Structure 1
Amino acid sequence: MFQSTDKLKAALKASYGKPKSESFDFSRIEQFFANRTPKSSDHSISDKTCQDLDFDEVFMFVDRTVSRVGQQYLYARLRTIDFNEAKTRFLEKITTVFSNDSSLREEIGVSLSGLSHPNAYYIPSLFLKPHLEPPHWFWAVKLLPILSLFFLVLLPFYPPAFLWLFGILIINYSIHYWNKNNLFQYIASFPQLLRLNQVAQELLKHEPLKPETDDLNQSVRILDEVSSSMSFFKLESKLQSEVGMLLEVITELFKALFLIEPLILFHVLKKLDSKRTDIDRVFQYVGLIDTALSISSLRAGLVYSCQPQFSKGQKTLIVRDVYHPLIPNPVSNSMTLADKSVLLTGSNMSGKTTFIRTIGINVILAQSLNTCLATEFTMPFLRVFSTIRVTDDLLNEKSYYLEEVQLIKALIDESRSEIQTLFLLDELFKGTNTVERISAGKAVLTFLNKGPHLVFVSTHDVELTGYLKDTFDLYHFTEIVEDDQIVFDYKLKEGDLQTRNAIRILELNGYPPEVIREANRLSEQLTRAKS
């Protein structure tokens, strides 16, 4: 046991500050997030925004949890902005403890590893999903074991009682194996719930990890009261893998004769149904501790990071040296906004969309993990919505333009809220003609930018800069053409894009001379017409 613990501590020490190398089963990881009922004040990051910001990849980079409970809690926390400052302060306090105390960090990691089995993914079903209800004929399940015992006692004195006992046994076996399917749904989660409560008790022994209220201790004690009933299923799970064939036949006969499994199963489910709040509280506590451990490891592995500063209600954003978590050797950028939004111009591949994603990801990390990949990050509390990736929906017979129209309409609806929001957009209305694209784009961006909201939008339509320069700060990315080579520096620059290299890039990629001449002639003609 000691050797095993030492090896586990060594593994935890070696993995500290590093991303996981394991596979991720998102269908299980998201179960806590997908089935919980969020508070009305919560903001859930939508599936569309997650797709736009490459959320799954970001999660895989951020996740350094030890337990499956912590992994599920971290996923839900990243996808839920709850604006709960007290919870954030407690999370930061525990994170700081772990960052400063490697010995405690490894000891807690050992405790949390008790919930690393995949079966721990099923714990949320015990307090978030409806439980099985006993059938209307369940009264017979309570009566039949009494009859079994009666005829079993009568048998030595009245041998013909065997016929009655045999008939009851046939009925009981039918009920016993009918219940196997019911039992199968819980045989994985019951033992893990017991382990969850044990892990919580181990964590609470450490003074720095104790919450400020006694609610958690009370919930742990309440779950202890049902532990004895659930212990049967822990034993059942163990016996299935360890007992021999003969012993298994005997134990199955005994359980069927007295219908032990259905009686205990529905008894436990009834108890657990009234303990949902307590299970939830214990689950979230263990998940939060593991998340703090994960944040500590994340920060240790970053080149640099900072804690965000929140400017309540102000339409400001101060960003220093911010970078994207998924790009090797990333280029950092800075900006300061005051009562304005951002309009980005630049050629393809210059960095516009990546920068928009960088801002969105860091705004989410700031509010969920109190961590930003920057040297300074000052922002208001923000909801986040986006429309970056847009595709044709051929199955529902939607064109690219109609799909885009409906996505942007959803952002307009959200902008009517008084809650401050960050809108992230990339190339509005690409599916229509230039005149209407610019006209509609200007109108939509002006609408979204009303009140306290912040808008980050990229565009190739430089005409928009003239229409929006009073309410949007103008920034751009550009490429440099040197010695017949195209070089991107990915550095954010203030002001409108002045250089025009698109045709030159065509030339460098071997387009025919007559194509280049015609393109340059028309470009000059159109420029004079606009002037």
Structure 2
Amino acid sequence: MKNKFNLGEVFTITLLCLTTFSILLLFKDKVEGWYFGAALFSIIVLIFIYNNYIKRKRNKSSDYINNNLESINQKKRDFNTISKLFNLLNSKHKETNIIDDQTFNDLDMEKVFSKLDYTLSTPGEQSLYSILRTPLYDSFKYEDRKTLINLFQQDSSTRNKLQSFLYELGKQYKGDILELIYTTSDLNKHKKFLYNFMFVLSCLSLISIGFLKQYSVMFIIIIYSINMSIHYKANKNILSQVISITYLSKVLSCAKNISNMKNENLTYYNDIINTNIEKCNVILKNSRNISKAEGIDILGDYFNVFFLSQVRSYYNIIGDIEDQREYLKEIYSIIGEIDSIISISIYRNLIKDYVEPRFIDKPCFLEAKDLRNPLIENTIPNDFMVNNNGIVITGSNMAGKSTFLKTLGINSVLAHTICTCLAKDYKTSYFNIISSISPSDDITKGKSYYLAEAEAVLRIIDSLNDKVSTLCIIDEIFRGTNPLERTSASLEILRYIINKNAIPVVATHDLEIAELVGNQYSCYYFSEDVDEENGLKFDYKIKKGISPTRNAIKLLKYLKYPSIITENADERIRHLLES
């Protein structure tokens, strides 16, 4: 039975408190120290009411989360905000083995992110995005992440309690907390002095009532007018950061709540939070004050303007934020990591049919059984294996080549980041993952499609290294140029890549590339049946060998192209094959 908390229960407990108080009042002559007893009893009851309210509120939020996972997952997402943390960290440290922008776009990873995203907070969203862009190659860190995912999968009580705190934190829809804690603020000490000086004058104007009498009114009006002008001018410049400070207060409160949980499995997180939160207690206290400074009520707003409460609080706290910036970053990172790991555990529980990858101490190896694409409902599974060799995949249009390349790439990313693959079995080396699937031309930069392709492939070549094997995924290599040069350049590039600690997996329409690439590559294909009456039928199963079929002309016939076009095209093909 669900716990429900309502005003009726509060009223009943309060009434009980008042009744007891009244009885004590009636017998006050006979009860020694009744004042103390009544006060103590009232405090105990109020504490009980408050604690019960908080507990049931959190239980209610936990029930809401568990019953509304679909709506949480289908929320609107702003990837400009979601990607900010990753972009900030990458711009500072320049990681070499990240999932770069083109690969992330090629593999539709924003859609994959949306599938995985059950986060409840802004740091959680940003952390999950960073996780998907940053493969782990450290086996100890990898095992730690996998252990936490499994913990949150199995321990629903701990997961629910953490989610209740994260639900209270929520998303930041205005302001930019990352700008607050990652960007150095320009603190104007002269303004800070001016605002404190005007505060002193505000106090003096009130004190002047005692000796200036009616003349003090003019003094108060002048000070109030000046401070009102200062307040609204300053507020325009600091409003965004004030909003972010308010959200920072919620982040710190969330961290404190988590650190108070007595759970030995969270010792690692709690130790980090406790170490850093001690340095930020002043910020937590002052940030609460600034969040209360405006918008409480009309009277409160008058006091806020008259004493410049918000502006002075801002300048007091912004200096503390500057001093404790590294501690704040650490706390923000931990809150985000907890939320993102919980999100991954929920995704696992919902899909159920997944496997944890097994990493082996061997270069250029990948073996998957019943590999599936997470973005496709009722997807067709395929087996796949490479062992120090490359793969060339041929097949007709729409037969499944590009989808398979994306399936391979997505699962490799998930294996290296969230310890999860959509397969029945998955064994792999550690890979740097890079692709060229959808390079685009840019007429505004005078860039042709072929130039975009050439740059994308060069980017792959430049990424090759001896430390970590590279999984190179290339779709329709050099489709933007003539057949003669395409075949010649493609063959040389594939021969170069295969000897550089890499696995190239290449899809192409050019059967000639498959025939000439050499014994360092294995050939696979996707096939279809084309019926001029019923159209195309695909089984989407990968097969060993080179594609024996073509479907382009048959597809034109199915679409009712003029017969003279299709017949002459067939005749031309026959002549070319005979010659």
Normalising by structure 2, we get a TM-score of 0.83
In 1: Cα distance, 2:573 partner to 2:511 partner: 14
The corresponding residue for 1:104 is 158
Work out whether 1:178 is the aligned partner of 2:227: no
Match of 1:143 in 2: 197
Residue 241 of structure 2 aligns with an amino acid whose one-letter code is: Y
Match of 2:433 in 1: 384
Distance (whole Å) between structure 2 residues aligned to residue 350 and residue 116 of structure 1: 44
> Distance in 2 between the 1:17 and 1:248 partners?
41
Partner of 1:254: 306
Distance in 2 between residues matched to 1:271 and 1:292, nearest whole Å: 30
For 1:190, the equivalent position in structure 2 comes to 245
- In the alignment, what sits opposite 2:142? 88
How does 1:142-161 map onto structure 2 within 5 Å?
142-150=196-204, 152-154=206-208, 156-158=210-212
User: Deviation at 1:210?
Assistant: 2.1
Distance 1:337 1:84 in 2: 23
Distance 1:157 1:112 in 2: 54
Instruction: List per-residue Cα deviations over 1:75-121 (Å, max 9, x = no partner).
Output: 11111224343333222222212222223322222121112243488
Counterpart AA for 2:61? L
Aligned counterpart for 1:43 among listed residues 97, 103, 110: 97
For 1:345, what is the secondary structure of its paired residue?
Answer: strand
Query: More displaced, 22-31 or 78-87?
Result: 78-87
Give the alignment's Cα RMSD to 1 decimal. Answer: 2.7
| Cα 1:424–1:219 shift into 2, 3 Å | same
Residues 229-287 of structure 1: per-residue CA shift (max 9 Å, x gap): 11111212xx51x41x3x145313432xxx33333212211111122221122122222
Q: Are 2:448 and 1:399 aligned?
A: yes
1:482-514, CA deviations, whole angstroms, 9 ceiling, x for partnerless residues? 685421000011121122343333333333333
The aligned amino acid for 1:185 is S
The 2-side partners of 1:393 and 1:274 are apart by: 45
Q: Look up the equivalent residue of 2:285 and give its one-letter code.
A: S
Task: Sort the Cα spacing of 1:145 and 1:225 in 2 relative to 1 into closer, same or farther, 3 A.
Answer: closer
- Relative to structure 1, the CA distance from residue 504 to residue 166 in structure 2 (aligned partners, 3 Å threshold; closer, same or farther) is closer
The residue identity in structure 2 corresponding to 1:252 is: N
Residue identity matched to 1:461: D
Closer, same or farther in 2 for the Cα pair 1:105/1:140, shift >3 Å? closer
Residue 323 (structure 2) aligns with = 274
**Counterpart of 2:124 in structure 1: which amino acid?**
G
Bigger CA radius of gyration: 2
Deviation at 1:414, TM superposition (A): 2.1
1:200 is aligned to 2:255: yes
Q: Output the CA distance in 2 between the equivalents of 1:423 and 1:42.
A: 15
Gaps of 5+ in 1: none
- Please give the alpha-carbon distance, in whole angstroms, between the structure 1 residues aligned to 2:220 and 2:270: 55
Instruction: Tell me if 1:22 matches 2:71.
Output: no
Alpha-carbon distance between aligned partners in 2 of 1:105 and 1:330, rounded to the nearest angstrom: 31
Contact between 2:391 and 2:521, CA under 8 Å: does it hold in 1?
A: yes
Query: Using the alignment, how far apart are the partners of 1:144 and 1:353 within structure 2?
Result: 67
CA contact (8 A) 2:475 2:508 kept: yes
Deviations 1:396-428 (A, max 9, x none): 222222222222222222236754322221112
* Counterpart residue type for residue 465 of structure 1: A
SS in structure 2 of the partner of residue 487 of structure 1: strand
| Equivalent of residue 69 in structure 1, options 115, 119, 123 | 123
Q: Alignment partner for residue 507 of structure 1, among 557, 561, 564?
A: 557
Bigger mean CA deviation after superposition, 332-341 or 461-470: 461-470
SS in 1 for 2:211: coil
Q: Is the 8 A contact 1:342 1:457 kept in 2?
A: yes
Counterpart residue number, 2:5: none
How many angstroms apart in 2 are the aligned matches of 1:252 and 1:212? 38
Cα distance in structure 1, aligned partners of 2:79 and 2:436? 23
1:127 aligned onto 2:181: yes
> Displacement of 1:4 after TM fit?
4.1
Q: Which residue of 2 aligns with 1:374?
A: 423
How far did residue 155 of structure 1 move? 5.5
Change (3 A) 1:153 1:391: same
Letter in 1 for 2:233: W
Deviation at 1:185, TM superposition (A): 1.4
- Greater Cα offset, 180-189 or 326-335: 180-189
1:332 and 1:525 mapped to 2: Cα distance? 39
Select 2:267's aligned residue among 198, 205, 210: 210
Q: Note the alpha carbon deviations across 1:125-163, whole angstroms, 9 max, x for none.
A: 332223242165544334343344455545643566776
User: In structure 1, what residue type is equivalent to 2:258?
Assistant: L
The structure-2 alpha-carbon separation of the partners of 1:516 and 1:483, relative to structure 1 and needing over 3 Å to count, comes to closer
Q: Give the conservation status (yes or no) of the 8 Å contact 2:369–2:382.
A: yes
Partners of 1:42 and 1:82 within 8 A in 2: no
d(CA) in 2 for partners of 1:7, 1:261: 34
What is residue 235 of structure 1 aligned with on the other side?
292
Taking a change above 3 Å as real, the CA distance of residues 87 and 275 of structure 1, as seen in their structure-2 partners, is farther
> Would you say how many aligned residue pairs link Structure 1 and Structure 2?
521
Counterpart CA distance in 1 for 2:96 and 2:187 is 32
Distance change >3 Å, CA 391–CA 41, structure 1 → 2: closer
CA contact (8 A) 2:255 2:273 kept: no
Question: Which one is further off, 178-187 or 130-139?
Answer: 130-139
Shift of residue 386, structure 1, vs aligned partner: 1.7
What SS does the aligned partner of 2:524 have?
strand
Instruction: Describe the shift of the 1:446–1:330 C-alpha distance in structure 2 as closer, same or farther (beyond 3 A).
Output: same
Identical aligned residues as a percent: 27
With over 3 angstroms needed to count, the CA separation of the structure-2 counterparts of 1:31 and 1:501, relative to structure 1, is: closer
Distance in 2 between residues matched to 1:262 and 1:8, nearest whole Å:
34
Partner of 2:35: none
Query: 2:578 aligns to what SS in structure 1?
Result: helix
Contact kept, 8 Å, 1:322 with 1:358, in 2: the verdict is yes
Q: Which residue of 2 aligns with 1:460?
A: 509
Distance 1:137 1:21, change over 3 A: closer
- 1:62 positional shift: 1.2
Structure 1 residue 323 displacement after superposition? 0.7
SS in 2 for 1:337: strand
* Structure 1 residue 340: Cα displacement: 0.9
How has the CA–CA distance of structure 1 residues 157 and 7 changed in structure 2, closer, same or farther, with 3 Å as cutoff?
closer
SS of the counterpart of 1:371? coil
Asked if 2 retains the 8 angstrom alpha-carbon contact of 1:19 and 1:61, the reply is no
Q: Provide the rounded CA distance (Å) in 1 between the counterparts of 2:58 and 2:197.
A: 48
Letter in 2 for 1:427: E
Amino acid at match of 2:284: S
What are the superposed Cα offsets for residues 453-491 of structure 1, whole Å, 9 maximum, x if unpaired?
Answer: 222211011111122232222111111246854210000
> Distance in 2 between the 1:234 and 1:417 partners?
53
Secondary structure of 1:44 counterpart? coil
2:202 and 2:111 map into 1 onto residues whose CA distance is: 58
Give matches, 1:354-503, under 5 Å.
Answer: 354-415=403-464, 418-481=467-530, 484-485=533-534, 486-503=536-553
